[in-house]
Amino acid sequence: MPQPDPYAPAGAFSMPPQPDPYGYGAPQPAAGPTVKSRKPPAILLAAGAVVAVVAAIVLAVSAVPMVNATNSMAQIAPTGTSTASLKADSDYGLYGNGSSTCNVTGPDGSNVQVSPPSSDTSTTLNNKTMFGHFTTTASGDHTISCTTSGVQDVYVGNAISMGGVVGTVAGVLIGIALGVVGVALLIAGGVWLGVRSSGNKKALQGQISSGYTGAGQWPGA
């Protein structure tokens, strides 16, 4: 039978071990699966959409002058007299592939000067080369009299300069480049968002199966 400690102070007694109220030294649960934010891939996806829209706008704006000029072309008699309804204060071009000369008369009967294209105004539309251009001063029917050697078609339509052609080509190239970047961002953002969503789904399933509730806590702790 154990004997009392003769050196122990009177009234002394031993305390059973008490749990630490602050949990120091207690084993902590391992960190559970982490659910990550979907904001970064969503931002990348939105940026791709914005760049793609800008690319479409740049392409549309750049192509407008060339499309309008092409659509405005109307065939006239290569040799003889034709009438064309034209707008005031507008630049028009005469197009063909043969040796043609034309005179233009305004609605009031006054002569409208036709000038040969310079190096910065000559261009080709629908495989027809501009051989003359003029600026109207009044709206209405204009009389165009032409003489052409050989059998060639002649057209009248909006004039477009070489600078306009260069601007259109540059705009189209920029639009295409932006489109490529936009599509790449859309694909990257979409893939990233899909992977992130799949990972979050697995993380949530892992938390449920392990009983982990986040913040280092376990159910009932």
Give the chain's domains with CATH numbers. Answer: 72-159 (2.60.120)
Give the SS3 label for residue 131: strand
Which class for 102: exposed (0-12), middle (13-18), buried (19 or more C-beta within 10 A)? Answer: buried
The pTM of the full predicted model, rounded to 2 decimals, is 0.56
pLDDT (tens digit per residue) in 130-161: 899 999 999 999 999 999 987 889 999 988 87
Task: Tell me 123's DSSP state.
Answer: -
- State how far the Cα of 53 lies from the Cα of 71, in Å rounded to an integer: 25
Share of residues in the chain with pLDDT > 70 (%): 77
Share the mean pLDDT of the chain: 81
